Amino acid sequence: MAKHVVTMIPGEGTGPEICEAVRMVIDASGVDIKWEYEDIGLDCLEKHGTLLPDKTIQSIAKNKVALKGPTTTPIGTGHKSANVTLRKVFDLYANVRPVRLIPALKRPWDKLDIINFRENTEDSYAAIEHMVSDEVAQCLKVITWPGSYRIADFALKWARDNGRKKVYCVHKANIMKMTDGLFLEAFRAAAKKYPDIETGDIIVDNCSMQLVRNPGQFDCLVLPNLYGDILTDLCAGLMGGLGFAPGANVGDNCAIFEAVHGSAPKYAGQKKVNPSAVLISGVMMLRWLNEKEAADRIEKAMYRVLDEGKRVTYDVGGTAKTDEYAQAIIDKMHAGLK
């Protein structure tokens, strides 16, 4: 019997080719994982009549851990995002999105090492929307004290457990006095339990400007859902692109690891895109599974391949295909990182 059983959801667009490359690298690290492949998304709707089949839900519920590729969500009309549904079904309330400098990606910052904690279940993402008339649409922004308190507490605890020093709450409570006001109040209440962590708050528009001007000043940020979605893409840009931004959706009972980026459908089938973001999400998953050595080995090999710059994907100036870049990382691991 394998040591770990992980639900693998390749997703759509470029998702399957990325996930295949990532599986190759993780398997080559020697960690003993049995992968259970499951479907999700629009292709799945055609095959099974639903975006999120029961079989996929049951597999995640049983294994309590999944690695997921991106899915495609049509803009405007159509179906509710399978991602948002998945986060709700498993109450994955914490979306952890770290960004840090990758040496091979030449960036103008001296320091970039931020962990974003995005609240993942509430806010205007609760999808409570309706047409008031033909010309007026309304969306409800729902923020609760328990929802806000638990993401604040999660972030503060994570910060303490991982030796981080500073956690700031991002909000717009000067204008949205009740909703964002409650989010901030809950953060301040949770912060009282962590006197060893420096805490504070910053208004989301100022935070956006400060991130671009001097990202090195930030350590950990706690954000409501919508601001978190937007600012973590901004942070991915600071890092050097969506191809490198990983993430985890964490609840009290299970965790689903996935990149920040989407399915990049225009590149689907070309084996062109960078699998690093899903691979780093996989590395986060290995640490979650207590497979720290394998995680470190993969990460070091990936950095080494990027430093050499010979077998890398188009977005970092190379010509390697998705699987060729994965093979380069495997070769580096097998060569003992020489």
Positions marked catalytic: 125, 172, 205, 229, 233
Segment contacting ligand NAD by CB under 6 A, of 21-29, 50-58, 193-201, 260-268? 260-268
CB of 178 to ligand NAD, least distance (A): 29
Scan residues 299-318 and list those touching ligand NAD (CB under 6 A): 315
Total binding residues for ligand NAD by CB under 6 A?
Answer: 18
Instruction: Please say whether the beta carbons of 258 and 70 come within 8 A.
Output: yes
Task: Give the pairing type, strands 166-171 and 220-223.
Answer: parallel
For residue 165, what are the CA distances in angstroms to 155, 200, 219, 220, 299? 12, 12, 7, 8, 24
Instruction: Please say whether the beta carbons of 108 and 296 come within 8 A.
Output: no
- 264 belongs to the binding site for ligand NAD (CB under 6 A): yes
Segment contacting ligand NAD by CB under 6 A, of 136-144, 180-188, 269-277, 288-296? 269-277
- 277 belongs to the binding site for ligand NAD (CB under 6 A): yes
- 225 belongs to the binding site for ligand NAD (CB under 6 A): no
First to last CA, the chain: 33
CB of 89 to ligand NAD, least distance (A): 15
Residue 113 or residue 315: which is nearer to ligand NAD going by CB?
315
Separation of alpha carbons 208 and 237, rounded Å: 12
- 171 belongs to the binding site for ligand NAD (CB under 6 A): no
Residue 32 or residue 129: which is nearer to ligand NAD going by CB?
129
How would you classify residue 12: left for phi > 0, otherwise alpha for psi between -120 and 50, otherwise beta? beta
Residue of closest CB approach to ligand NAD:
262
Return the amino acid letter for 50. T
Separation of alpha carbons 30 and 28, rounded Å: 5
Instruction: Please say whether the beta carbons of 111 and 215 come within 8 A.
Output: yes
Residue 243 or residue 282: which is nearer to ligand NAD going by CB?
243
CB of 128 to ligand NAD, least distance (A): 19
Segment contacting ligand NAD by CB under 6 A, of 27-35, 156-164, 207-215, 255-263? 255-263
CB of 118 to ligand NAD, least distance (A): 12
Scan residues 37-76 and list those touching ligand NAD (CB under 6 A): 70-73
Instruction: Please say whether the beta carbons of 239 and 128 come within 8 A.
Output: no
Determine whether 1 is exposed, middle or buried from the number of CB atoms within 10 Å of its CB (0-12, 13-18, 19+): exposed
Residues that bind ligand NAD (CB under 6 A): 70-73, 83, 242-243, 258, 261-266, 273-274, 277, 315
